[in-house]
Structure 1
Amino acid sequence: MNKQELKEKYGKKRVPHEWRKTDWFTTLVVTFFGSGMSPKAPGTMGSLAAAIVAYPMAVLADHLFNGKERLFVPLHIGETECGLLINLFFLAAALFVFFAAIPFVKKAMKDTGTEDPGWIVIDEVCGIFMALAFFPTNLIVLHPWFLAIAFGLFRFFDILKPLGIHRFEKFPGAWGVMADDLLGGIYAGILLCFAAAGIYKIIFS
């Protein structure tokens, strides 16, 4: 046998990746610029990419709106008065990604004959942005390490899917792919909001 025959018989056959069955633009969207193509932990890579992108987004929002993107919602828990901050910029970003991604996720799954494959990570991007929708933009700019906390909290809810998140997975088609991460982001964001308040209370008390 010559070298080519040996390669054909014993060489590792390359199996085309599923995403190659759909068009390049759909692939670009659902893998979030290729971050979902990671052979290991694509969901983690997609979430990490979203957290990294969130920093320049926060810098831009802080420059453009200078705090005007915040909405404070007062809450009364028993005799305790507290509040929940809503970051309208990241809330809009999360909702935009959610609804804009639905047709692309639907097309990707239809073209490839898959159902919520790991390389679709645009839902993780939506979740990270939603987690940051409960956090002030200027603190992201001043203390980027809060992005690591948001990342960790979101991955916790995304992987374990507690508090009814797993039920959202059962929504039909692309809606199920996106909805569970949106809810996971909400839970992560609320925890992030209260965790940040606790950290600052300890630091400045």
Structure 2
Amino acid sequence: MNHQRLHIIIASALGIGYIPKGSGTFGAILACLGVIGLNALFPTNALGYQAVLVGLTIIFLFIGRKASEVTEQIWGEDSSKIVIDEVVGQWLSLCLIPFSWTNLVLGLVLFRIYDIFKPFNIRSFEKYENGWGVMLDDVAAGIWANLTLQVILLLFNFYV
């Protein structure tokens, strides 16, 4: 397999980016499926689950950056076909959050709100080049979603 094709597979999150409508949401849902799988692998080891999730998030941030850089040359700037950024942002929104179905859904909703509406100057991260702009606005959205979810969980003692 040539490198360009590999970057396309990664950037499109195994082809999810080719879905004509809502590809970003489907990319975030794919990330949630990955989290469900991780929880199944580490059902009684929260530390192991979190360590792997944080590790994957960091690794795919850099892999996604390179794949985004390459595929922007093919598809244009920040194409809707690039959804690896949503995968990373969604994972980030759930890092250090205890696994539960409620937390998973809240994390998904919060991440998509921050990713779509881009409050708190999230859009300013899009200016970076070499694939960083594609990734960093979703990283910012993921951080804001995570912080919001942490506050909700603390305020409502909602760790379920």
- Give TM-score, length-normalised by structure 2: 0.88
| Aligned twin of 1:158 | 115
CA distance in 2, matches of 1:69, 1:191: 24
| Aligned twin of 1:89 | 52
Give ranges in structure 1 of 5+ residues lacking alignment: 1-21, 71-86
Deviation at 1:154, TM superposition (A): 0.3
Q: How many residues align?
A: 158
RMSD of aligned residue pairs (Cα, Å): 2.2
SS at match of 1:135: coil
SS at match of 1:68: helix
1:41 equivalent among 2, 22, 29? 22
Give ranges in structure 2 of 5+ residues lacking alignment: none
1:135 equivalent among 94, 97, 112? 97
SS at match of 2:127: coil
| Aligned twin of 1:59 | 40
- Describe the shift of the 1:201–1:123 C-alpha distance in structure 2 as closer, same or farther (beyond 3 A): closer
Cα deviation, 1:166-194, whole Å, max 9, x if unaligned, reads 11111113000001101110110111122
Q: Does 1:99 find its partner at 2:73?
A: no
CA distance in 2, matches of 1:29, 1:113: 14
> Could you tell me whether the CA contact under 8 Å between 1:89 and 1:133 is conserved in 2?
no
Q: Does 1:195 find its partner at 2:152?
A: yes
CA distance in 2, matches of 1:134, 1:94: 12
Whichever residue aligns with residue 132 of structure 1, its letter is: L
| Aligned twin of 1:116 | 78
| Aligned twin of 2:88 | 126
Structure 1 or 2: more helix by fraction = 2
Structure 1 or 2: more strand by fraction = 1
| Aligned twin of 1:172 | 129
Deviation at 1:88, TM superposition (A): 3.8
Rg: which structure is higher?
Answer: 1
> Could you tell me whether the CA contact under 8 Å between 1:26 and 1:107 is conserved in 2?
yes
Query: RCO greater where, 1 or 2, for CA within 8 Å and sep 6 or more?
Result: 2
CA distance in 2, matches of 1:97, 1:201: 29
Deviation at 1:200, TM superposition (A): 3.2
Cα deviation, 1:58-87, whole Å, max 9, x if unaligned, reads 232445xx23359xxxxxxxxxxxxxxxx4
CA distance in 1, matches of 2:153, 2:13: 28
Q: Does 1:145 find its partner at 2:102?
A: yes
> Could you tell me whether the CA contact under 8 Å between 1:43 and 1:124 is conserved in 2?
yes
> Could you tell me whether the CA contact under 8 Å between 1:157 and 1:184 is conserved in 2?
yes
> Could you tell me whether the CA contact under 8 Å between 2:93 and 2:146 is conserved in 1?
yes
SS at match of 1:93: helix
